[in-house]
Chains A and B, each alone.
Chain A
Amino acid sequence: MTVDEFQHAFESEIGELLARIQRRYSVSDAEVTAAVHASAKKYLADTLDQTSGNPGPTDESRKAAGEFFASLNADDLCLATACAKGDDAAWEDFFRDYRSYMVSVARTMTQDAGAAEQLADSTFAELYGLRESGGARVSKFAFYSGRGSLRGWLRAVVFQLSADHHRQSSRLVQTEEPEDMDRLAHAAEKPERRSTTDLDYVRDRYRDGVVASLRSAIADLESRERLLLAYYYYDEMTLREIGQLFDVHEATISRWLTKVQKRIRKLVEKGLARDHRFNRREVAEAIEQASEQLDITVGDYLLESVPGDRKREKPAPSPGGAVARR
């Protein structure tokens, strides 16, 4: 859908959005519409696709578009558009309102005043658009969609630039924490510790069965359930933090986790019985023993072994599971 088609299809919604903007700077209606269109292409792609073939948007499309337009931060989007355009007044306002905030965010990330100033300056340069593409200046502001606040977007931009800088500057620096190295060493020792006693054999059999079943169970979970487990166990987020992201109360997250655990148990039990021919007693013993052997390190990490993750270009996991970026 082109900008003109978009404007024609959602004329009234665009009119309402334009009316919401308090200060327009030198941004014209067409420029605002183009910015909104770019945002809609990113977040309203399905609706635009449905509408593009029809003479007008359906009720459903109009409803979705209405929600999208209502969620846009019109003033922030206009300021970003004006800054991308190089409007002096907009830049003046931007400096006044966001400069100190960006420096403080940079300081939080770098933990160093000088580095923070440097990071803030480079972010400003990115925002202004020192790079050129086809003879035109490319401002980072062009990527702001208005879906979140400009302040939050700036925080994310500073964070991203900080991570990029760190990654570039630490190519020759060890990126793992000392405890990561401990775990790697511990994992490397693991195969050597295999004993040949009957008891150890049973234990290893149980452990391998549980690990395989657990991996399979996690892979069978829905993406949201996996995300929940990842937030809680992998990222070590608190229930409150997860609740913020899912927009529910922490008690709800607790219930969800309990539910996911029950589901995993069922899947693991089923997997042990089906794939490893464990009887009911063995299943119970295997889970119990494996849960007590917390020093066991799995060959790789379960969340990295899910099929979707393999699509990404990631370095192959080491036997210990730690990703060494060098």
Chain B
Amino acid sequence: MKFSRQTKDGAIDNLLRAYVSRPSNPNQVCPDFDADRANAYIERGLTGAVRLQYEAHLSECAGCRKSVVALLRMAEADSLSTVTFARQEPKITRLSRLKEMFGALSQPQWAMAAAAVIVFAVSLPLFLSRNQTQEARQDAADQSVSERSAVTPAESSPSSTAKAAEATAALVSASKQRESGDVKIDALAKNSPAAIPAPESAAGFAGVVEPAKKAETKSAVESEEAQRKSESVTVAQAPAQTGAAAASQAGRTDADQARQQQQTEKDAAQQVAEPKLAARSNEDRSKEKTQRAEEIAPPPAPPADDGRGRSRMARPGGHALRDSDSADAVRPEERKFNGKRFLLRDGAWTDKDFDPNKDLPVVIIIRDSNVYKEVLNKRPGLKPFLTGFQPGERAIIVYKGTVYRLIPQ
């Protein structure tokens, strides 16, 4: 820092420079120079009256002051060299700290925990949005069922039928909007007059549930017919309706309404009349899955330092997360053993803690081999995992910083 010209008195500064400054004489030493006192002054070891006394002496004794200035400069150079020497050590410690930190992160449990947190953070909003969509669908379905049930007793009252139709149209459009991400269903449902069932329709709803169930087949046939009609009408009208947007929209609404009705009726019919069918289809699906899992050849072990292989390994999960609609289709099956979660990936039950990007030591264990038995003996903690899988299943287990690949014989 320089003594600023703006803050100082230029004339007086010049005068002081001219009159006070003098040729330097490095050999000018005060005969009373006290090395101990000078050093204590430089190291700010003097306090109070002792310091003031010494400063008063320095203000008058150019020799002592020269020595103090020289010693101060030497001390500064000395401390600088000490600081630079000392700074090298903190560098090492910082590096070692970083190493320790990253070393700790490179531990599988921390890495997996971090990965799990990241996956959770990414998947949570997607999961929530998916839930919202499902809820919206559910709401729409429920309300359509309630409308249907309200329609049946309201056949005698044409006004309520019209209201129900309006409400259905509003709900259908609202559910569409919600699917497209625009969540305004609540407002729409509130605005629609039939969304809140009238006391009459509410009263009638309880008594009409049973007849409604009985009449489901009939209504399904009717709705199919209505749908066909509306479709044929819209298809027939389409070429001629270039300018009649309102009419086409009405036709589309009718068609959507009919489709919605049909879908809900089908669902209801399936739920009521054919519960066994669903169970059977579920069984078939699971069989297919297991069959597929058995048929799929295990993937070759990715090379340890192959980036492409890693990205390929990481992709399916990401895809499943990104595309929430297809999440059910892509989401792998899951198993739990002793608090560990395993996902069926590429035909192998893969430990959720397994990260292909981590270069952990890999032990390949062929089931029932000597190595298998030896590992079972040495690592009893692995036993529930190794014995938990079926003999034909492959598994990747991360246990105490080592990856164990279980391969069938």
Contacts and interface: CB of A to CB of B under 8 A. Distances in A.
Given A147-B45, A148-B45, 15 more contacts: A43-B50, A64-B48, A143-B35, A147-B37, A148-B43, A155-B75, A164-B29, A180-B23, A229-B16, A234-B22, A245-B72, A258-B8, A291-B12, A302-B20, A303-B22
A153 interface: yes
A152 B43 contact: yes
B75 to A, nearest CB: 6
B306 interface: no
Contacts of B45: 71, 147-148
Q: Of residues B17, B62, B65, which shows the largest number of chain A Cβ atoms within 10 Å of its Cβ?
A: B62
B67 to A, nearest CB: 7
Interface string A219-260: 000011011011111111111110011010011001101100
A3 to B, nearest CB: 19
A288 B46 contact: no
B370 to A, nearest CB: 61
A298 interface: yes
Interface of B: 1-4, 7-25, 27-31, 33, 35-50, 52, 55-56, 58-62, 65-78
B21 A236 contact: yes
Contacts of A287: 11-12, 15
Interface in A240-284: 240-241, 244-245, 247, 250-251, 254-255, 257-258, 261-262, 264-265, 268
Interface pairs A-B: 7 shortest CB-CB? A156-B35, A227-B59, A308-B60, A147-B40, A180-B23, A291-B11, A291-B14
A232 B65 CA distance: 12
Contact of B16 (A160, A180, A244, A264): A264
B48 to A, nearest CB: 7
15 contacts: A46-B49, A155-B39, A156-B38, A160-B29, A160-B33, A214-B16, A227-B55, A231-B69, A233-B16, A241-B69, A245-B68, A261-B16, A287-B15, A291-B18, A301-B22
Contacts of B4: 254
A179 interface: yes
B18 A296 contact: yes
A231 B65 contact: yes
Contacts of B72: 241, 244-245
B62 A159 contact: no
B19 A153 contact: no
B35 A157 contact: yes
A252 B19 CA distance: 24
A292 interface: yes
Chain A interface SS verdict (over half): helix
Chain B interface SS verdict (over half): helix
Contacts of B9: 258, 261-262, 264-265
Contact of B41 (A234, A240, A245): A245
Contacts of A308: 56, 59-60
Contact of B59 (A223, A238, A261, A301): A223
A248 B59 CA distance: 18
Contacts of A258: 7-9
A313 interface: yes
Contacts of A175: 25, 27
Contacts of A265: 9, 11-12
Contacts of A166: 27
A306 B62 CA distance: 11
Contact of A234 (B20, B40, B49): B20
Contacts of B15: 210, 214, 268, 287, 290-291
A227 B9 CA distance: 19
Given A43-B50, A67-B47, A323 B25 contact: yes
A177 interface: yes
Nearest to A155: B74
Contact of A224 (B55, B68, B74): B55
Contacts of B39: 147-149, 152-153, 155-156
B85 to A, nearest CB: 12
A268 B58 CA distance: 24
Nearest to B32: A312
B102 to A, nearest CB: 37
B29 A155 contact: no
Contact of B23 (A67, A292, A309, A322): A322
A280 to B, nearest CB: 15
Contacts of A176: 23, 25
Contacts of A240: 1
Contacts of A296: 18
